[in-house]
Structure formats: structure tokens, C-alpha cells
Chains A and B, each alone.
Chain A
Amino acid sequence: MSVVLERLPVDPSGRSGVLSNQLKRQRVYIFPTLQGWLYALMLVVMLLGAINYNNSMAYMLCFLLASLGLVCMIHTYRNLAGLILSSTTPKPVFAEQQALFPIQIDNRLSLARYSIQIESYKTKKLLFRKREPRHIVSVSVKAGKPLTSYYPVMTTERGILKLERLKLSTNFPLGLFSAWAYFEPEFYCLVYPAPKGSKQLPQNVLHKENVDYGMQSGTDDFSGFRKYRPGDPVNSIAWKAFAREQGLLVKQFSGKSSQTLILNWDAVSYINDLESRLSQLCYWVLLAEEFSIQYGLEIPEKIIGPGLGAHHKKYCLETLARYGKQK
């Protein structure tokens, strides 16, 4: 979803009509800053001085600075208006890591934008409590160019993290006025549990299997090729065979060490806390992946068969992240 700040830039090809259906307009607000009020006060004092001394050049200076203030107002507003904001789904992260929400700022006008501050905070604001220090990202966008900026949010717990309302503000060029606009991106970051716990893989659920059992295979002894099926680990593809134009084949191995790990609820029954259980399972998933050990996941209401590879890992971690959470 995208938002245009205040006004739609006119596309010279006259095709803006197509875009406008997908764009939501967002108002840009503007107000003098503290420095701006001080500036106004200075102008009043100058005017009094000019009148008192009947000094034409003093009048001139006072009026010039007043005009400068007004022009600055237009430019400050202009620095924000007309930007098109959109966002995409951020990469999942582990809890206690920093989630990076990509925010795309598209500047379609031939005027560069400078020093736009992006900050995010909860809409519920307590009046007398000091706002917690927020992260502020400052960006400048070249004329007619889009720019992707990442807004970092520190994650504390696994689950689904929603980016709070974003406030874009600018004081450019003179800091006498502040223009700001809000952007409510409907984007969520998946937060996996923090990988924590014992390094020891659970012994009691280690299965020794025959080679011909399903698609699972060991890693020790090469036993032949079979056809590639989606989900096979990339490093087991026989690239040489592929180069000989024999199609995608997967190397199969057999051996005593061929093993399958089933990570289930029983394996973590010794941990009481749900989050810690999930953290331990997450850690094991990562370890198993690292050692290239086949693994499956069995948690209440969800059973994932054994497997290996990026897709499998992602699926397992996502399941852990979403466990007990809606969506």
C-alpha cells in the first residue's frame, strides 16, 4: 500500500490517473517551531526599533526577514509534500535482534528533498510521561528518484511485530517551521524466537533409519542419484550432472550416520516456560541445519515432517514464531 503526501505529482504523460486509485492521500501539517516563534519575536522588536528610529533600512531588513520566514514556510512544506511512501514486508529476524522495515520514499518531482526525519511511535501517547527515546532516521531524496530507507525497530519477543505509525517531519531549510505527516504502514515483521538454550541436541529422539526410508538420506556414503524434488537442499544437487544436461539430479547418500532428528514437545518437556521451550527448539533447528542433520518438528497442532534446507528451516522457524499467536 502507498500513501501520497498531500498532493499527487502531475505526471507529464498524463497517466497519473492510474496511480491515484491506489494512492491514499495524507495531509501535511505545518507549524512554527520554537525557533520560528523566537524569530517572530525578533521581527516585532526590529519593527519597533525601525518605527522608533524612523529608519528605512531597518524597516527594509525587518520586512526582508519577515518575507524570508514566509518563503521558508512554503519551502518547508514543499520539502515534504508530494512524496509517495510505500513499504514492503521486512525480513524476519530473531527476537532481540533489530528488525528493519523498508520504507520506500518516491520523489517524483524535480526537487531534491533534504533532511526528512522518520520516526515511529505508538499512537497512544501519555500526556505527562516522557516519551521513550525513539529512533530517528534522517534521509534526503534526490530529485525524481526513489529511495529505500530502513527503519530499525528493536524486537523484544517472538511473534508478529507491527510497525507503529510513522511520522515524517522536516525543518528544512531554515528550521523556522516544522512540516510533518503521518504514514500508517500495514506491515508486519515476523520475529522468530531467540535461539537460546542447550547446545546438546536431544539424544533420545535421534532416529537411525534405513536409507530407503522416504526421501531422507544420510550424508556419509554416496549411494546414487535420484530426480530433484522441490525442497531438496541445494548443496545436494549434482551440478556436474546438470552440466552434462542430464537434468537436475540429487545425490543420495547412505550410511550408519544417516539420522533424523524429531524435535518435539517431549524433548523440551524439562523446560517449564513456553517461550524458553520455543527458544530451545529454535536453537536446535539452527544447529541441525548447521550440521546438516535431517530434522522434523512436532509441536501441538502442527507436525512438520523431516527435512533439510533453507525452505524447511524457514517453515519451521515461522511455525515456532507463530505458535500460539493469531494469523
Chain B
Amino acid sequence: MTKRELNINDVLWLAIGVASASFPHWQRLPIWIPILHIGLLLARIYIPLRLPLFWKNKKTNINIVRLVLMLGGVFSIYGNYGTLAGRDVGVALLVMLAAFKVFESKSKRDYYICTYLGYFLIITNFFYSQTIPTAVYMMVVIIVMTAGLINFNDTEEKLTLLQRFKLSSTLLIQSIPILLVLFILFPRINGPLWGLPKDAHTGTTGIDDQMSPGSISKLVQSREVAFRVTFENEIPEQSSLYWRGPVLWQTDGRKWITGKSASGREPAPIEFAGEALRYDVTIEPTNKRWLFGLEMVSTPPENTYLTHDYQLKTRKPLQARKAFTLTSYSTYTLGSKSDSELGRGLRLPELNHPKTREFASKLRDEFKEPALILDAALDWLKQGDFIYTLQPPLMIEDMVDEFLFDKRQGFCEHFASAFTILMRAAGIPARVVTGYQGGEINPVGNYLIVRQYDAHAWTEVWLENKGWIRVDPTAIASPTRINEGIENVIPEAIINMPLGLENNETAMRLWQRLRNTVDMVNYQWAQWVLGYGPDRQKLFMKKFGFSSIDWKQLTFTLFIFLGTIIAVIAAYVFNKTPKSTEPAKMYYDIFCKKLAKTGTPRKAYEGPIDFAKRVSKSRQDIESEIKKITDLYISIRYYSNNKNLLQFKAAIKSFSPKKITTS
């Protein structure tokens, strides 16, 4: 290959490729990095154009400028982030260094390194976003960068811009079958191979292992999907959809935390009754270990376990979208009488909530039996004019007392927290359970979408002979929240309609349908593309009858498929023989082929007439046919009698010379 210096054309390709690959990062970086990035790219384009001598002769100057700029850049990034390790810093450095590399690129080697840096920039984008639009955008970037490589190797510039893009797209389209085989069959292992940077999974929202006033109402403002559920049979009623998350035991009066690990590692004894409910949960990454199952999950799936208080937890934080198959029973009796556990369920912060304590002791004195006390408390709650609202008034002093006896406005965390404390004060063991309640049914895919705004908190109380039972104080105070979902209670959470169409019902329905379709596509994408890991690979292979396939067999299968597909592509690419565009010639070629089979091939120097004469001499049996075809051919090809074409075609079709063996 000839050595060649980069010309302005090459540099433009590089700059466009690298800039478009890093473009989605710009909004995530400190503003000066994208500015420096673009500045360097423009300088590389502009300087040799306007100041060719400066670029060529004063190499040392350029080198010093470059070095100073680069060191300055690295230091500034360190200053910005306080570290040089981690995902965000890595991206910042990569974006900056890629621009520097383009800036200094002169040779073929530089061109390739810049292109490869561009490919790396693409992959880093996927650590932030793996949505379909991102994937489509990146595909376009790959087409551009590949076209750039074609540009570089098309040394004579024989291809037009359009042809370059076409060839680049062709190459990528032909890659897709191989890509699919690799994606499906390449043996997957569970990462990570080494420690991930701490910031690898930031920006994920979701339920936490603690609850304080405002923590859930903050979540409620997010439309983000928490998880999606496909039920094997019918989707149960909204009011029974309690997705159990962290169980909180310990409180200081405001904040609830899970507290020290519950008594015993084994899940508490439980008895199930009624029908089993089977469903698949595809959960978005939370970087936490809770999995949300319907109350109550019977057996934990692989790589998860149930704690004593029936929190379903994964062994590793959920750092990628994952799917689990769960089985639940809606009727159950949970727990055994264990003094330490019940003691924990009664613990109250010292000297707090005097009003609540007073009210609790009044209830206890009056009703004695825990079950009666509970009923009385719930009645009191129902008739207490409590208001369920996202904007509760400020409660500073004693949150529980103020909420129960003064303000009476709050969100589910206020209800759950206050009610649990009230129960404890009345001598009934109680705990707070957080999770999600309800979900939105997507009729397009017939599955349930649970979003962050479905986050919820409720109470569990211990009653002798009944075990831990669920009491949802929010449901008592604001029944619509539970029966119809949050969208009906808090208007802000309703679909964001495009401006001006809020009152048009048809538009509303269409909009809803579009939204549902988009979510369905996203769900399938999440399930089959993003969630495709070792588990799903096993599942997929099972569908094709490979019930227990190990990585060796998988690799073997992979190579067989790869070989076959490459052979098919190669055959397709190679089998481009020139076909005569002229129909008459095409049919005449068939005629010659037929004769060649009988042992009289047409010689390279023979014209149609000579050929006919020669063949006719030895083949008197088909002489008239040959003459007819040859005459027709000549009339069409050389006298432009196109009307004979059909006749010619028919004559050739019916022409079938027999092979004769001359003895």
C-alpha cells in the first residue's frame, strides 16, 4: 500500500466521525470539554488549509502547543472530577484525547487509530443509554466511520460520496447475519470480570433501603419504568398488586431503615393457600439488590434468596436489565411467634410522639384485643378526614403527632410511618413495607408496566394466629389510590399530552395507543436484546431442544453456524456473473448452452451463422430448428425486429437437442 499523507478530505471524514460519535456525551461533560473537542477538530481542518507553511515547517511549535494543551486538559479533568478513574472521567478523557489524536493526525496509522478511538467512543455511549434511538443513531455513526475507511482505501477516488455510503451500508448489512449468530451463540458469562468503577451505575432511581418523608413522593414524580410484568394468565386486580420491596424495622420517628439483619437467615415459615400466580418480571437496573414480587413469593428464582421477613433479594446488585420468573400466592399465613422478632416490631424511639402514645394507650385500654385495636384504629383513620396529597404541609417538630392529630395531610410514607408507630405504641408488632402498588396495563402487549410513580409504602402488623398481615393505611384513607392507580389521584402523573390536544378524546386515545406500542417495542427490546445474557441464552437454546448446553458445545455450534453463514455470504458476493442485459443475447446463450451439452460447443471465434452451419453439418436431425432460431436471433439482434422476441423465446424453450453418440 502506498504511503499517503492525510488530505483535507480524510481529515473531514475523521472529524465528522469522531464528533458524531462523541456528540451524545457532550451534554454529560463539563462544557469546556466539548468546546475543546470541537475546537481541536476545526483547527485540524482549518490550519493546514489557511496556514500550510505553519503546519508543515513549525512542527516543534505545534508539538509544544499540543503537549501543553493536552497536559492542561488532563489536569482540568482531574480538577473537575477529583479523580482520573471511573466511567465519567474515562469518557471525558476519551472525548478529549480522541480530538487531540485527530488534531495531530498525519499518517495512515493516525487515521486508523482515530477511527478506532471513534469506535470506542460509540461503545462508551452504550454505558449510558441502550435505548433503540441510541442504537439507531450509533448505527448511522458506524456507517459514516466505515465510509470514512472506504474513502481512505479508495486511493484513486473512483467512488462517489453516495457510492461510499452505499458500500459501507452493504458491508454492514452483510455483517448482520454473522452478528446475529455471534450475539445468540457466543458463550455468555456473567460479568463483571473485575471491579466496576463506582460511578458505573449512577443515575438509577428507585426504592431505597430507607424511607423518610419525601423520599417516596420524590419517586412519584418520575415516569421512569421500574419493571414490567407479563402474567402467565390474567392480570390480577389493581388492588391486589402489592410489589414487595424492602421491609423497614427501625425508626427514629422520621426516618425508617431496614435495621440490623432480621432474626435468622432462613425465610420465616409460611403457608400458602389458593392458586399459584406465575409471571415474569423484567426489572430495570437499580444497582440495588431488591427484586419486587407480588405478595407473597413462594420460592426464590436462581441467584436470589428470601430474607426472614420475605424481602426477595438478588446475590449481586442489579446493574443491568434482568428478567425473573416468579410464583406467588395471594393468600398466605406468614411468620411464627418469635420473641426477638416481635420485640423488634414493637421498638419505638424514646420520648417521642406523646400524643400518639396517649391515643394508643387509650385504644389499648378500651379494646384490649389486638385485632379489635387494629379495627378501631382503621375506623378512626377512615373517619379522620385524612387527605392524600403529594404536597403535604411542613411537619417539623414531631412528624407522626403532627400528621395524625394536626395536619392530617400526607403521602403514603406518612400514612405507613404514622400508622406503624401507632400500632407499636398500642402494643401490636408492626413494620413498614415499601415497594410498588398497582401498575399500568399495556393492552398492546398485554403486560403490566410498573413505573416509579407507583412506589408505595404500607404496614404489616402481627396478629396472633394470623401472622403478619398487610394493612394499607393509605388505602383506608384514600381508597381510589389503590383501586384505580395513582394516575387518578394525582393529576400531574397523567400522560403528557402534546399541547392543545388535552381535550380531544380521539387524539387522547390514539396518543395512549402510540405510547403503549412504543413501550411494547421497548419491552421486547429490553427482554430480548438488552436482557440477553447467560440465563436467556440458556432459555433460548432450550427452545431449540438444547436443554443443557455447555460453553464447549455452544462454541462448537457457533463455529458451525459462522462457517455456514460466511460461506453463504461469500457465495452471494462471488456469484456476480455478468448477465447480458439484452434479452435476445440471454436466450441465445441458453441455446448455445443446450448445444454445448450435446457435445457441440460454440467456439470463441464463431459467429451465429458459422456456428449454425457447422452444427447443422453433423446434426441433420435438428438442422431446421437451428436455422429457425439463428434466423430469429439475427433478425432481432441485428435487424432490430423486436416483435420476434416472443417467438424466439418460445423456440428456445422448446428446443431440446438429443445427445447422439457418434460411433
Which residues of A line the B interface, CB within 8 A? 7, 9-15, 17-19, 33, 35, 38-39, 42, 46, 48-68, 70-72, 74-75, 78, 81-82, 108-112, 114-115, 117, 136, 138-140, 143-144, 169, 171-175, 178
Contact = CB atoms under 8 A, between A and B. Distances in A.
Interface residues of B, number: 74
Contact of B593 (A13, A74, A139, A172): A13
A51 B135 CA distance: 18
Interface string B594-613: 00100001111000000000
Given A52-B193, A174-B149, A175-B152, A64 B179 contact: yes
26 contacts: A9-B577, A9-B578, A14-B589, A14-B592, A17-B601, A38-B112, A42-B120, A51-B192, A52-B192, A53-B196, A56-B320, A56-B530, A56-B531, A57-B138, A57-B529, A59-B183, A60-B529, A67-B175, A71-B175, A110-B579, A114-B159, A115-B155, A140-B158, A143-B578, A174-B171, A175-B152
Given A55-B130, A61-B123, A115-B154, A74 B569 contact: yes
Contacts of B200: 53
Contacts of A70: 175, 178, 566
B171 A63 contact: no
A51 B529 CA distance: 15
A138 B126 contact: no
Nearest to A63: B182
Contacts of A13: 589, 592-593, 602
Contact of B175 (A39, A49, A68): A68
B178 A67 contact: yes
A74 B123 CA distance: 26
Nearest to A72: B171
Contacts of B51: none
A62 B589 contact: no
B174 A71 contact: yes
Contact of B119 (A42, A48, A144, A175): A42
Given A19-B604, A75-B171, A75-B573, A60 B152 contact: no
B2 interface: yes
B179 A63 contact: yes
Given A56-B531, A138-B155, A139-B156, 11 more contacts: A9-B577, A42-B119, A52-B192, A52-B194, A52-B196, A65-B142, A68-B175, A114-B154, A140-B158, A171-B1, A173-B154
B176 interface: yes
B533 A54 contact: yes
A55 B200 CA distance: 11
A51 B159 contact: no
A110 to B, nearest CB: 5
Contact of B569 (A19, A71, A82): A71
Q: Which of B112, B152, B172 is the most central at the interface, judged by chain A CB atoms within 10 Å of its CB?
A: B112
Interface SS of chain B: helix
A175 B176 contact: no
Contacts of A175: 1, 112, 149, 152-153
A196 to B, nearest CB: 35
B574 interface: yes
A6 to B, nearest CB: 10
Contact of A71 (B178, B531, B578): B178
A54 B193 CA distance: 10
Contacts of A15: 592, 596, 601-604
Contacts of A63: 178-179, 182-183, 186
B518 interface: no
Q: Which of A17, A39, A115 is the most central at the interface, judged by chain B CB atoms within 10 Å of its CB?
A: A115
A232 B179 CA distance: 74
Contact of B193 (A48, A55, A169): A48
Contacts of B135: 57, 60
Contact of A53 (B142, B191, B532, B589): B191
Nearest to B586: A12
A54 B191 contact: yes
A110 B112 CA distance: 30
Contact of B578 (A50, A136, A144): A144
B556 to A, nearest CB: 18
A281 B200 CA distance: 85
A111 B576 contact: yes
B189 interface: yes
B257 interface: no
Interface of B: 1-2, 108-109, 112-113, 116, 119-120, 122-123, 126-127, 130, 134-135, 138, 142, 146, 149-150, 152-156, 158-159, 167, 171-172, 174-179, 182-183, 186, 189-194, 196, 200, 319-320, 529-533, 566, 569-570, 573-574, 576-580, 586, 589, 592-593, 596, 601-604
Nearest to B139: A64
Contacts of A54: 190-192, 319-320, 533
A19 B601 CA distance: 13
B146 A68 contact: yes
A68 B171 contact: yes
A57 B179 contact: no
A35 B601 CA distance: 48
Contacts of A139: 156
B127 A51 contact: no
Q: Which of B158, B172, B533 is the most central at the interface, judged by chain A CB atoms within 10 Å of its CB?
A: B158
B200 to A, nearest CB: 7
B612 to A, nearest CB: 15
A74 B589 contact: no
A115 B172 CA distance: 21
Contacts of B112: 35, 38-39, 175
B191 A174 contact: no
B139 to A, nearest CB: 9
Query: Nearest 9 pairs between A and B by C-beta?
Result: A67-B175, A67-B178, A57-B126, A63-B182, A54-B191, A14-B593, A13-B589, A140-B158, A52-B192
A61 B121 CA distance: 11
A35 B115 CA distance: 11
A80 B155 CA distance: 16
Contacts of A78: 573-574
A207 B466 CA distance: 141
A138 B2 contact: yes
Contact of A109 (B183, B319, B578, B602): B578
A58 B127 contact: yes
A68 B173 CA distance: 9
B119 A65 contact: yes
Nearest to B158: A140
B576 A109 contact: yes
Nearest to A42: B116
A175 to B, nearest CB: 5
Given A53-B200, A65-B119, A78-B573, A174 B150 contact: yes
B171 A51 contact: no
Contacts of A48: 193
Contacts of A82: 574
A35 B112 CA distance: 7
Nearest to A48: B193
A114 B149 contact: no
Given A68-B171, A110-B576, A138 B156 contact: yes
Contacts of A62: 123
A15 B608 CA distance: 14
B601 A14 contact: yes
A292 B116 CA distance: 68
Nearest to B606: A15
A117 B2 contact: yes
B561 to A, nearest CB: 12
A55 B116 CA distance: 19
A61 B156 contact: no
A71 B171 contact: yes
Contacts of B592: 13-15
A67 B123 contact: no
A10 B155 CA distance: 29
B529 A56 contact: yes
A42 B200 CA distance: 21
B120 A74 contact: no
